A and B are shown apart, each in its own frame.
Chain A
Amino acid sequence: MRHERRDHTLQASALVNEAYLRLIEVTQVQWQNRVHFIAMASRIMRRILVDAARAKRNQKRGGGGQKVSLDEALPVAETSIEDLVAIDAALDALEAVDARKCKVVEMRFFGGLTVEETADALHVSVGTIMRDWRLAKTWLARELERGHDA
C-alpha cells in the first residue's frame, strides 16, 4: 500500500466554524455571544484530537514521540500523542482553578485562533490574553515535565 502522508495546514478557525455550523444549526440557535460559540468549537476540536490521540496511543503502545495523524483525511498535529494526552489532562486541572486560561489554551492551541481573535472572543484585552497565554503555557510546560518525570 502506498504510504501517503497527508499533511495540510488548515485555517482551523474556519474549519471549526464551518464544521460546527454544520453540527449545530447556527441559524436556529441564539448564541448568547460569539465567545460561547468559539469556546465550544475549540473544545470540540480538543476532544477530537485528544480522543484520536488516545486511540492511537492505545493502538500502538510505546509509540512515544509519534505524531498524531487522525485518519487519513484529518490533519496532522504537530504535537506528539503523549503530549496531547498530557496537555488534555493538565488542561482539566487548569480549568478547575482558572477557566479562562483553559479557554485561552483551547482557542489558541486547539482552535488555532490568534491572540487578537482570542481577545475579541473573550472580551478582554490583547495584553490580558498574552499574559494568560504565557502563564498557561508555562504552567503546562511544567506539568508536562512533571508528568514525564513521574
Chain B
Amino acid sequence: MTPDRWSQIERVYHLALERAEGERDNFLTEACAGDEALRREVESLLAHDGKAAFLSTPAVAHRGGDTLVGQSLGPYVVSARIGEGGMGEVYRARDQALGRDVAIKVLPRAFTADAERLARFAREARVLAALNHPHIGAIYGLEDVAGTRGLVLELVEGPTLAERLSHGPLSINEALLFARQIAEALDAAHEKGIVHRDLKPANIKVTPEGEVKVLDFGLAKATDGDGAAPDLTHTPTLTVGATREGMVLGTPAYMSPEQARGQAVDKRADIWAFGCVLYEMLTGRMAFPGETQSDTIVGILEHQPDWTALPAATPASVRRLLQRCLDKNARQRLRDIGDARSEIHEAMSAEQEPIATVARSSRNWPWIAAAMLILGAIGGWAVSRVPQPSTRESMLQLQIEPPEGGEFTRGVNDIALSPDGRTAVYIASVEGRTALWVRPLDGKTARRLPGTEDALNPFWSPDGKAVAFVKSGKLLRIDVAGGTPVTICDVNGIIAGGAWSSDGRILIGLLRRPLSQVSSAGGTLSPLTTFDASLGEVAHVWPQILPGGRFLYWAASTQAEHTDGVYAASLAKPQERVRLLTSKTNALYASSSEGQGYLLWWRDGTLVARPFDPVTLQLSGQPRPVADPVGVVVSFARMNVTVSASGTLLYGGSSNLTRLAWFDRTGKSLGTVGDPAAYWPGFRISRDGRQVAATRVDAGRDLWLFELERGVSRRFTLDAGGGFNPLWSDDGQTILYMGDNASNLYRKDASGPGTEQRLIYSQVKEDLWVDWSRDGQFVLLVRSDSVTRNDLWILPVTPDVKVPPNTHPRPYVRTPFNEWAARFSPDSRWVAYQSDKTGQSEIYLDAFPEPRRELRISTAGGSQPRWSASGRELFYRTPAPGNKLMAVRLNPSGDAMEPSSSQELFSLPGNDFDVTADGQRILSPVPADQRPPAPTVIVNWPALLREPVTR
C-alpha cells in the first residue's frame, strides 16, 4: 500500500462515516467508481469501526473523563468534576438527604482489585472519620462508584494554601496562625497513629473565615504498602512507575529526605513537610525548589533552604523551629508536632525579636539521590538484559548488543554519542565491510552513511549535525542527515582522537605528534601543542573539548611511566597547560544533569570519576569508582569508554587481555608481572632475570620494560610503528628491537632515557630479527624469498653494537624449507630453530657459525626453542592442543651435541613463553578476564558515584 492509496482510502472512509448507515452503500459505489479493491478496503475498515476498545485506555496512563457527572451514587448526585487529585478525579456532589455538597474522590480501579488493600484503606478511613477535628477535612463515607470506590469527603470551600501563596508570602502573623492550626491538626492525627505523608499547601484549604483545613489525611499512606514496616521497595515518585499515588504529578518538594530515599516513614515526615509549609508561608517560596523533580530531590537531600529569605522580623524561635523541622536527619529532627505548636504559640504571644540569627549550615556530603532513577530508555537497541533496579541503585544500567546485522569493531571507542545524547554514530562491520552507521537512540533502524567505508575515529560536530572521521589519510566530514563526505584536510599518521570545537576548529590527535588543529571548513593541519622535551614527550592524543574554550588531552612520555598524564589548556593559549592527573589512559570530561562536572579516567580496570570544574580546571573531592570492570584501550591508551554530554555513559569490558605470569617447572603459578594488557608474542627476560621486555598492543604497539624487583614498569619506546621483538644484550644494558613498518632494527639503552638509534636499515620488508648472541657479535634474522622461503641469516655487529661498514646479512641456514624462530645457545656454538622440512614444525639444532648437520630435537612437533643459561637444557613447546612445555637435556660431546632425556613439564597457558636463565621459572601469558561483558550503557552515571553519607 502506498501513502497515496492510503490517503484515498482515508478520504473515502471518513466521507462514508459522515453518511447515514443506510446511505453508505450507494455512497461507496459512487465514490469508489469501480475500484473494487478500494471499496473492499473501506468496507472492511468500516466493519471494524468502533471495535478498538482495547485502545481506548492508554497503555500506561489512565485519565478519566467526565463520565460520572450527573450520576447518582447512593444519596449523592454528582454535579461536576472539580479536579484531579493525584489519586483520581474529584467530583462535587450533592447529598440529597442532608442538603449539602460533598466532595467525592474516586479511587483508582486498582483498589477494587485488591481486597486486602481496600480493607486496610477502609480501616484507615474509619479512624480518620472518627477524628472529627476542626482543622481536618472530614470523611463522610465510602461509596461504590462505577466499579470502584469513592471517598466522600467534606467539601471545603475556599482556596488552597497553594493558591494563596501563589500571590506571595503571608504576613508573619497569618503564617503563624495557619501554622498553629496545621500543627494542631497534625497533632490530633499523630496521636491516633495516623501520618499524613503528603502534607503540602495544595492539601491545605483556607476557608473564607480564615480557618485551615488539612485534607487528604492519611490517604497517601493507606494506598500503598504496609503501615509501620519499612517498605524498601518504595522508591519515590521519580522512578518509572512511581509507586506513590498522588505524588507523581505533584512536586516532591515536600518529601522528607527519608521519603526520598525510600526509607521508612513516620510522623517525622509530616514534621518535615510542616517545616516546608511554614517556610513557604513566610517567604512565598518553596523551601526546596527545583525545576525538575530530580533537582528538587537533590535539594532536599543536599541543600539547606535559603534561610536568608525569611523575613527579617521572623522571630528567632520560629527560625529555630524551622531548622529543627527541616533537619535532614530524622533522628535529630523535631520529634513531636506538639512542640511546634507550643513554639508557635509562644512566638505569637512573645515580643518580636528583630535580630535574625544566621542559620547554622550543616555540612552535607555529596549524595546523589537514590531517588534519581530514570528511564533507561535506550529504545531501539537490542537490550540483552535489564537488571532489576534495587532501591539503592539510582540509575539504569543496560547491556547492549551490537545492532542487528553488524558488530562493533573494536569496542565502544567506535561509538560516538551525539552531543545531545540522542543519536549514536558507530563503526560496524556488516558483511565484512566496515562503515559508519547512524542510529537514533529511540529508533530501531540504523542507517549507513555512504562514503564512510573503512572510516575511523568518528566524532560529532558540536551542533550534532555532522560527523567527522578519518579515512585513507584524510579527515572528512559528513552531514548526518545525508550527503557525501567532504574532505577537510590530509592526515598523515595514525589517528588517535578528534574533537570539534564550537569555534569551528577541529583538534586531531596523531601518534608521535603534538595535537594538531584545522578549521572544520578545510585547510591543513597545524600544530596546536608542542612536546615538552624535558619530559621526553612523544604523544599528545585523545583531545576533548571542554566548556569554556578549553580542551584536554593525554600525553605520553618516554620517561618513567608516571609522567604519562592528562593535561588541559585553553584553545587561546594551548602552551599554558595544566596537568590534571597522572593516568595510563585518557580522561573524559562529563557533567551530570545537575551541572556538576567530572573527570573520568581509568584506574586499574575501574572507571573513576572526580568532581572537576572545566573553567578553573580544578579537581576537587576524591576519585570515586563509577563502574568496573572497565576495559582499557583497544587502541592506544584510550579507555573503552565514551560519554555523551547528557549523562550517558557507554563502556566496554576488556577483551583479550592477558597477564604475564610466572610458573615453576611443575606449572604452579608464582605470580604475575605488570598489568593486564594485550601482550604480543616475543617478550624476553633479560639475562640477569631482573627485567622483562614485552610489547603491549593494547597501547599502541610499544615495548615496555618491567623491573621485576621494584615492580615498576615503563614504556620503553613510542613509535608510530611501535617496538617489538626485543633482544637483550648480555649485560642488560641495550635492547635491540624492531620498531616500524619496515624491518629496521633499532637499538636503545635499556636504562634511563635515551634515544633510539637505527642499527640496521633493512631493504627487505619481511625481515624479522630474532636473536642476538650472548657475546654480542651476531644478530640472527629470518629472511624470506620466493625460492627458499624462510631462512636464517646472520649479521655481525661490533662490540659497541654497531654494524661495521659494508657489512650485510649472510645466509646461515638456507633450504627450500622454512626455517625460523632461531635462538643462539649461550656459548654461541649452536643455534636452535624451527623447521618444517618434515611437514610440521619441529625443533632442530645446528652448529654455529657454520652449520654442519642439523639435529632434530623434538619428536612430535615443536616450536619456540629457548635455552637455559647453562646451554645444557633446551625448552620448546608442542603444538596445540597440547601446548606442552618440554625440557630436553643436552650433552655436548666433542663437537656434537646429544640430546638425552626429554621431559614434559606442563601445559602452557599462553601462546608464548620465556624461561629464566636458570631454567627454573617460566613466564607465559594467562587470560586476564573472564569473557568480556557486552558494552554497558549507563544513563545518569553520576548516580553511581558511591559514597557513604556522613555527617
Contacts and interface: CB of A to CB of B under 8 A. Distances in A.
Interface of A: 5-15, 18-25, 28-29, 40, 43-49, 51, 55, 70-75, 77-80, 83-84, 87, 96-98, 105, 108-112, 114, 131, 134-135, 137-142, 145
Contact of B421 (A23, A83, A105): A23
B293 A142 contact: no
Contacts of A21: 292
Contacts of A7: 108-110, 113-114
Contacts of A11: 61, 63, 248-249
10 contacts: A6-B241, A15-B240, A22-B238, A22-B294, A22-B375, A28-B419, A109-B55, A109-B58, A142-B44, A142-B45
Contact of B442 (A44, A49, A142): A44
Between A24, A71, A79, A140, the greatest number of chain B beta carbons within 10 A of the residue's beta carbon is seen for A24
Given A72-B233, A78-B59, A139 B45 contact: yes
Contact of B48 (A9, A12, A105, A141): A141
A8 B59 contact: no
Nearest to B395: A22
Nearest to B383: A51
A140 B49 CA distance: 10
A98 B3 contact: yes
B241 A8 contact: yes
A21 B508 CA distance: 33
A44 B377 contact: yes
Given A21-B292, A45-B59, A73-B241, A9 B52 contact: no
The DSSP consensus for interface residues of chain B is loop
A11 B648 CA distance: 26
Nearest to A105: B55
Contacts of B17: 134
Nearest to B241: A74
A24 B44 CA distance: 42
- Contact-residue bracket for chain B: 35 or more
Main secondary structure of the interface of A (DSSP, over half): helix
Contacts of B57: 78-79
Contact of A112 (B2, B50, B63): B63
Nearest to A74: B241
Interface in B576-609: 593
B494 to A, nearest CB: 33
B378 to A, nearest CB: 9
B100 interface: no
A10 to B, nearest CB: 5
B886 to A, nearest CB: 51
Interface of B: 1-3, 5-7, 10, 13-14, 17, 44-52, 54-63, 88, 108-110, 113-114, 233, 235, 238-243, 245, 248-249, 292-294, 372, 374-377, 379-380, 383, 386, 388-389, 419-422, 442, 593, 645-648, 939-940
A97 B1 contact: yes
B379 A47 contact: yes
B377 A48 contact: yes
Contacts of A75: 60, 240-241
Contacts of A80: 54
B59 A79 contact: yes
B645 A25 contact: yes
Contacts of B62: 9-10, 78, 112
A25 B646 contact: yes
Nearest to A48: B377
Contact of B58 (A14, A19, A96, A110): A110
Given A25-B646, A78-B57, A73 B52 contact: no
Contacts of B386: 55, 71
A51 to B, nearest CB: 7
A142 B51 CA distance: 8
A11 to B, nearest CB: 5
Contact of B243 (A8, A28, A84, A108): A8
Nearest to A43: B442
B225 to A, nearest CB: 8
B372 A14 contact: no
Contact of A22 (B3, B248, B593): B593
Contact of A9 (B108, B114, B294): B108
B110 A22 contact: no
B61 A9 contact: yes
Contact of B59 (A9, A109, A141): A109
Nearest to B244: A8
B241 A140 contact: no
A29 B420 contact: yes
B862 to A, nearest CB: 51
A139 B46 CA distance: 9
A140 B52 contact: yes
A24 B420 contact: yes
A73 B946 CA distance: 23
Contacts of B54: 78-80, 83, 141
A12 B5 contact: no
Contact of B60 (A6, A110, A131): A110
A25 B60 contact: no
Q: Which of B54, B292, B389, B419 has the most CB of A within 10 A?
A: B54
Given A11-B63, A44-B377, A135 B421 contact: no
Contacts of A19: 240, 374-375, 377
A131 B45 CA distance: 13
B442 A74 contact: no
B58 A112 contact: yes
Given A73-B240, A75-B241, A137 B52 contact: yes
